[in-house]
């Protein structure tokens, strides 16, 4: 167990709003139509989802962030916080999160902080299987829980413009509703407006909003986007969504990629095995990268930099990439060679 004494105290004071924030740097992420920019250049976030510091990253070294920045050629990571862990011990959770965030920022990586809620209050509220070793309420969140978390994040990280806030991991109204039709968007949008207001009272960091169907359905968002001018959209894509429909991804995007920035904060596939995540290079990975990620110029963080959380980017040794991980690493390297890879140096003032 890491020594949390000093970090826990500092993080607790920051979360409580006791310590003052630093001055706002001049450079920030700007939203220009359907693109993000940084210092006047088009900013495309490309990297990996690291999981959360308590569960998926338990026992892992902070040197992972150097590896993904240097060996994997990433410029962005996504770091998750389970609602149940925040409720259980917010000071310890804040300290662990801060250690990962600072390790990522020291490498010049942009950071997406993700409130890793699944479902939606009063509708679908999933309980993880006991054998996973997660808290029974790990994924469950009220809107008040999320607002409390985002106010704390805005106080701590609101002066670092290289950090983005992903409001809600995977909104779901019905776990049997496997169609993109925008049906849940009015409820989600009202909640995101409330959470955005909580953040905007403190910070102007870029916000990422998701649609329904485990963050895959952006039809409602395309029809009635958020009013906040510094909002972009999160999208999750796996092989199981509309697997046999040749136009599947474009239907769920509903033209939003031509209006607003989109970051695919989770995507991935299992090249071997059975189940919903199973997909091959030719029937999922290559066309998704070519037609969607590169074709539309979307930002993306592949799930998940772990040997256990599937689809796993790491092999069983916890260090070398899996077959899926090799594909993602090669894709990140080739993308960095073909396009400018913009980094965000940490503010050391």
Note the pLDDT tens digit of each residue in 203-229. Answer: 999 999 999 999 999 999 999 999 999
Give the pLDDT mean for 2-24.
Answer: 37
Query: Which pLDDT score is estimated for 10?
Result: 35
Question: What is the rounded distance in angstroms from the CA atom of residue 245 to the CA atom of residue 142?
Answer: 35
Q: What mean pLDDT do residues 297-312 have?
A: 97
**What pLDDT was estimated at residue 347?**
64
Q: Is 122 left (phi over 0), alpha (psi -120 to 50) or beta?
A: left
> Above pLDDT 70, what percent of the chain?
92
What's the mean per-residue pLDDT of the chain?
Answer: 92
17: pLDDT strictly greater than 70: no
Q: How many CB atoms lie within 10 A of CB 275?
A: 9
pLDDT in tens, 155-177: 999 999 999 999 999 999 999 99
Closest alpha carbon to 218 in 244, 242, 247, 184:
184
Mean pLDDT calculated for residue range 44-72: 98
Strand 262-267 and strand 231-237: pairing? parallel
Give the per-residue pLDDT at 41. 95
pLDDT of residue 26: 55
State residue 287's pLDDT score. 97
Domain limits, the chain = 5-338
pLDDT tens-digit readout, 83-106: 999 999 999 999 999 999 999 999
Domain 5-338 has CATH 3.20.20.80: yes
CA distances from 39 to 23, 32, 292 (A): 18, 12, 25
Give the pLDDT of residue 286. Answer: 97
pLDDT over threshold 80, residue 24: no
């Amino acid at each position: 167990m890491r020594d949390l004494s000093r970090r826990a105290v500092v993080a607790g004071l920051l979360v409580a709003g006791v310590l003052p924030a630093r001055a706002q740097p001049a450079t920030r992420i700007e939203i220009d139509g359907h693109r993000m920019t940084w210092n006047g250049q088009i900013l495309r976030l490309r990297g990996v989802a690291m999981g959360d510091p308590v569960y998926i990253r338990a026992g892992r070294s902070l040197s992972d962030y150097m590896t993904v920045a240097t060996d994997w050629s990433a410029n962005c990571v996504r770091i998750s916080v389970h609602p149940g862990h925040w409720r259980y011990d917010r000071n310890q959770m804040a300290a662990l999160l801060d250690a990962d965030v600072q390790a990522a920022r020291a490498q010049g990586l942009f950071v997406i902080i993700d409130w890793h809620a699944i479902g939606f209050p009063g509708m679908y509220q999933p309980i993880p299987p006991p054998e996973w070793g997660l808290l029974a309420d790990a994924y469950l969140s009220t809107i008040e829980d999320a607002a409390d978390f985002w106010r704390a994040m805005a106080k701590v990280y609101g002066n670092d413009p290289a950090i983005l806030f992903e409001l809600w991991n995977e909104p779901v109204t019905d776990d049997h509703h496997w169609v993109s039709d925008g049906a849940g968007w009015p409820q989600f949008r009202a909640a995101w407006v409330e959470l955005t207001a909580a953040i905007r009272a403190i910070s102007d960091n870029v916000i990422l909003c998701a649609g329904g169907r485990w963050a895959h359905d952006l039809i409602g968002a395309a029809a009635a986007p958020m009013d906040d001018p510094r909002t972009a959209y999160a999208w999750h894509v796996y092989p199981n969504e509309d697997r046999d429909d040749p136009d599947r991804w474009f239907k769920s995007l509903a033209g939003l990629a031509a209006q607003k920035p989109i970051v695919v904060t989770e995507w991935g596939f299992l090249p071997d095995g059975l189940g919903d995540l199973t997909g091959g290079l030719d029937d999922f990975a290559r066309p998704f990268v070519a037609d969607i990620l590169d074709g539309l110029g979307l930002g993306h963080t592949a799930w998940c930099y772990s040997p256990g959380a599937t689809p796993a980017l790491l092999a069983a040794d916890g260090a070398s990439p899996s077959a899926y991980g090799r594909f993602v690493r090669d894709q990140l390297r080739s993308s960095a060679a073909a396009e400018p890879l913009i980094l965000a140096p940490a503010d050391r003032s």
